[in-house]
Amino acid sequence: DAKTTQPNSMESNEEEPVHLPCNHSTISGTDYIHWYRQLPSQGPEYVIHGLTSNVNNRMASLAIAEDRKSSTLILHRATLRDAAVYYCILRLYTGRRALTFGSGTRLQVQP
């Protein structure tokens, strides 16, 4: 599986935008980019995913670089509830269909 690299931790202030980066330089043409987050004492939850184009949903936006070697998860207005570990995951189109989690980015949100 192709690897992803994320910063260990980031801090943000409440109601400010947050940009969470992810590098995936060995991504293949059919790898989807998924983001999950894990709130304290909970299982992970899906945030967003994309293949080539930028994506928006009610939770976040996903900006994918033109060469697909990096992506950025954007939380438009961070709230205290967004404090979590955010995982950037490449999901193979064929073969194993599991999620391969790295160590993620721990996001702290200050009031």
Q: Which is nearer to another protein, 42 or 53 (CB)?
A: 42
Binding site residues, another protein, CB under 8 A = 32, 41-46, 49, 85, 87, 91-93, 95-104
Q: Closest approach of Cβ 85 to another protein, in Å?
A: 8
Locate 111 and state its tokens. Answer: 């009031």
Distance CA 46, CA 14 (A): 22
Q: Which is nearer to another protein, 95 or 111 (CB)?
A: 95
Locate 13 and state its tokens. Answer: 């202030």
Residue 71 gets which letter from DSSP?
E
Q: Closest approach of Cβ 87 to another protein, in Å?
A: 6
Q: Closest approach of Cβ 107 to another protein, in Å?
A: 15
Spatial contact of 104 and 85, defined as CB atoms under 8 Å apart: yes
Q: Closest approach of Cβ 92 to another protein, in Å?
A: 6
Q: Which is nearer to another protein, 46 or 80 (CB)?
A: 46
Spatial contact of 101 and 4, defined as CB atoms under 8 Å apart: no
Distance CA 52, CA 48 (A): 13
Q: Which is nearer to another protein, 10 or 14 (CB)?
A: 10
